[in-house]
Amino acid sequence: MDLREQMVSSETIFEGKIIKVALDQARLPDGALAAREVVYHPGGVAVLALDEDNTVYLVRQYRYPIQQQLLELPAGKLDHGAEEDRLLGAKRELSEETGLEAAEWTYMGCILASPGFCDEVLHMYLARGLTRTGQHLDEDEFLDVVTMPFNQLVRQVMDGSITDGKTVSATLKAKVLLGL
């Protein structure tokens, strides 16, 4: 069975600095029409920065939509959308948020943030060979850098105390990749 849905019409109902929201009409496989609310996002990157002692660098920041502080990997949106080189975006975000640069970069694939309503693709990297340069946050960005042993991060992902999707995904991918 062909499960594709075809866009019949699209109306932008909001366009902000980061996202665009559209209300689409889609033709379903059986020919019926259905409304689809779609959030368009430029995509993002997340970096699991691991030093020679297997210490990982995370950031703690307040996430307004859920009214909580979260512990997560350094991450951010691709400033120029899908056409931005994602590795350059990852390097920028790691430097801005943690003040670190890395000599070795390993692409660990991507995840779809929430494909039921959003087209955001998050690209994940493992960064090694770290050197400290100096943090330079965006003017509206407030966060603390937190370090912990990689195995502690894995335990916190597994016990549910770290729930951020990109952090969970990248941590488990790195665990398998590195065999730690």
Query: What are the residue numbers of the active site?
Result: 139
Q: Which percentage of the chain shows pLDDT scores above 90?
A: 88
Higher-pLDDT residue of 146 and 135 is: 146
Q: Give 102-138 pLDDT, tens digit per residue.
A: 999 999 999 998 999 999 999 999 999 999 988 777 7
pLDDT bucket at 42, cuts 50 / 70 / 90: very high
What was the pLDDT predicted at 37? Answer: 97
Q: CA triplet 162, 163, 165: central angle to 5 degrees?
A: 125
Distances from the Cα of 11 to the Cαs of 21, 32, 38, 97, in angstroms?
Answer: 9, 19, 10, 36
Is 90 exceeded by the pLDDT of residue 94? yes
Q: Give 53-85 pLDDT, tens digit per residue.
A: 999 999 999 999 999 999 999 999 998 776 779
Counted residue by residue, the chain has a size of 180
pTM: 0.93
What is the token pair recorded at 178?
Answer: 């590195």
Average pLDDT, the chain: 94
